[in-house]
């Protein structure tokens, strides 16, 4: 497979660059490329890959054999609904210590957000003050396209990637506006409520030939209109919703139950979170979007149609509670009622006290670098091989989504092997 070299600057355009996750990603990436920190959690920077057979078997780092963009070539910018630069945003987020943020203070202060596309009705708990003024959503999309071109020119970038890391929007089901490019464009021009800000960014990116990553659970690029546009413009797209705490655990534990043929009666999940994301998800309409993403995981993994006696009557409940004192330190608590030999009940309880942005930041870095690789490799459309990173991974309409974390991991590594002319690993020898 011929992969274009990662030459020149890679522009990274982050939607929601002032948020907790984004600012944590920026600080960590800038510090890592200066050798001031270790990029823990990033497969592209730290993981090894098994290559060859028998005496020829070797395990180099992924970044040493796959032609990835170098951290030093990343140029980071983006949009936010608040005017503060990324240094001020990182301090405000209170994820990282001021000491760590100050290590790259000058670079952070130089990253000032562009005005964002924002409509109050899609994120009701936030009140944006640094927002674009446009007569129609189509006009707003054109402004975003102009921002893309100006950023690329100003920073002398050879290529770009855009990533949505902003807040979860209210739930919008698939509608007529999402079924074709023509319908989507008409909906933007008529200011249809079916078109949310994330969709405007996605259309602007893909129509400009820029790969788009959706880190939130909204529809955004998971629709025929954007699939059509991505195919036409040879653009990779992927999403949805960064797989961090509780859902990551589900993609580990549910395959364990299925592998051992253990039954499941119920799975209750609750979260407490105090950052901006927690506040947004306190709104029922935004929570609905997240709930749909979270609920799909174990249903797909366990396959109740094939195993009705084990998984045919599961009670699955998910709750997210806004609790300001916790800030970014999220707690995910799960109660799992499982069934063993002769129908005897058992329980499994998990209490994951994690840091939401600390888990999500390396996912952002990997997705940016791997989506850029996809485009240089000539891939287009939905990148199912990147399902490893998402709660509710996009998939083609004729396939089932892959949720098992370890199956996703194998698929991702095998795709990388094929890219560099190696044999896929079958794990039989």
> Per-residue pLDDT averaged across 20-49, rounded?
97
Task: Please give the Cα distance from 178 to 222 (Å, whole number).
Answer: 9
Residue 16 DSSP label: T
Q: Is the pLDDT of residue 320 over 90?
A: no
Q: Are residues 65 and 160 in the same domain?
A: yes
Q: Are residues 197 and 344 in the same domain?
A: no
Q: What are phi and psi of 354, to 5 degrees?
A: -125, 175
Strand partners of residue 322: 273
Q: What is the CATH number of the domain that holds 299?
A: 3.30.360.10
Task: Please give the Cα distance from 390 to 130 (Å, whole number).
Answer: 29
Predicted local confidence at residue 281, as pLDDT: 67
Q: Is the pLDDT of residue 53 over 90?
A: no
Q: Is the pLDDT of residue 279 over 90?
A: no
* CB hemisphere CA count around 354 (13 angstroms): 18
353: enclosing H helix or E strand: strand 345-355
Model-level pTM?
0.92
Tokens, residue 126: 């936030």
Predicted local confidence at residue 287, as pLDDT: 66
Q: Is the pLDDT of residue 378 over 90?
A: yes
Q: Is the pLDDT of residue 72 over 60?
A: yes
* CB hemisphere CA count around 340 (13 angstroms): 6
Range of the domain at 381: 9-242+358-419
Q: Is the pLDDT of residue 338 over 80?
A: yes
25 falls in which pLDDT band (50, 70, 90)? very high
Q: Is the pLDDT of residue 345 over 60?
A: yes
Residue that terminates a domain, selected from 336, 355, 374: 355
Residue that terminates a domain, selected from 333, 355, 377: 355
> Per-residue pLDDT averaged across 6-32, rounded?
97
> Per-residue pLDDT averaged across 224-243, rounded?
97
Predicted local confidence at residue 394, as pLDDT: 94
Q: Is the pLDDT of residue 289 over 70?
A: no
CA distances from 71 to 74, 218, 240, 377 (A): 6, 29, 24, 19
DSSP string, 56-115: G-B--BHHHHS-PPPGGGEEEEEEESS---HHHHHHHHTSS-HHHHHTTHHHHHT--PEE
As for how many domains the chain has, the answer is: 2
Q: Are residues 226 and 269 in the same domain?
A: no
Q: In the predicted model, what is the mean pLDDT of the chain? A: 93
Tens of pLDDT, residue by residue over 166-188, are 998 999 999 999 999 999 999 99
Q: Is the pLDDT of residue 286 over 70?
A: no
């Amino acid at each position: 497979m011929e992969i274009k070299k990662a030459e020149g600057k890679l522009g990274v355009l982050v939607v929601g660059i002032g948020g907790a996750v984004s600012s944590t990603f920026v600080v960590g990436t800038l510090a890592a490329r200066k050798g001031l920190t270790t990029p823990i959690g990033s497969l592209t920077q730290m993981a090894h890959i098994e290559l060859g057979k028998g005496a020829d078997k070797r395990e180099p780092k992924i970044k040493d054999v796959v032609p990835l963009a170098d951290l030093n070539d990343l140029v980071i910018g983006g949009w936010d609904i608040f005017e503060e630069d990324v240094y001020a945003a990182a301090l405000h987020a209170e994820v990282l210590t001021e000491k760590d943020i100050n290590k790259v203070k000058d670079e952070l202060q130089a990253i000032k957000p562009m005005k964002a596309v924002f409509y109050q009705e899609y994120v009701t708990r936030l009140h944006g003050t640094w927002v674009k003024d446009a007569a129609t959503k189509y006009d707003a999309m054109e402004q975003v396209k102009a921002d893309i071109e100006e950023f690329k020119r100003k920073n002398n970038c050879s290529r770009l990637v855009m990533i949505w890391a902003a807040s979860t929007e209210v739930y919008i089901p698939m509608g007529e506006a999402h079924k074709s490019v023509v319908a989507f464009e008409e909906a933007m021009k008529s200011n249809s409520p079916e078109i949310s800000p994330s969709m405007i960014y996605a259309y602007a990116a893909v129509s400009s030939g820029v790969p788009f990553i959706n880190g939130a659970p909204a529809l955004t690029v998971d629709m025929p209109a954007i699939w059509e546009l991505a195919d036409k413009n040879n653009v990779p797209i992927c999403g949805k919703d960064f797989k961090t705490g509780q859902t990551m655990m589900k993609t580990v534990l549910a395959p364990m139950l299925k592998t051992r043929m253990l039954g499941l009666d119920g799975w209750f999940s609750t979260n407490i979170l105090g950052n901006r994301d927690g506040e947004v998800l306190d709104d029922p309409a935004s929570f609905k979007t997240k709930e749909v993403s979270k609920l799909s995981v174990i249903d797909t993994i366990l396959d109740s149609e094939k195993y009705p006696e084990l998984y045919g009557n599961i009670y699955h409940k998910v709750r997210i509670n806004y609790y300001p004192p916790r800030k970014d330190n999220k707690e995910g608590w799960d109660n799992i009622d499982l069934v063993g030999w002769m129908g005897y009940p058992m329980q499994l309880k998990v209490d994951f006290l994690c840091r939401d942005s600390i888990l999500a930041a390396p996912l952002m870095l990997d997705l940016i670098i791997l989506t850029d690789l996809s485009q240089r490799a000539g891939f287009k459309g939905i990148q199912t091989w990147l399902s490893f990173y998402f709660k509710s991974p996009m998939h083609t309409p004729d396939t089932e989504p892959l949720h098992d974390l370890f199956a996703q991991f194998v698929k991702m590594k095998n795709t990388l092997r094929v890219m560099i002319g190696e044999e896929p690993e079958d794990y039989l020898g």
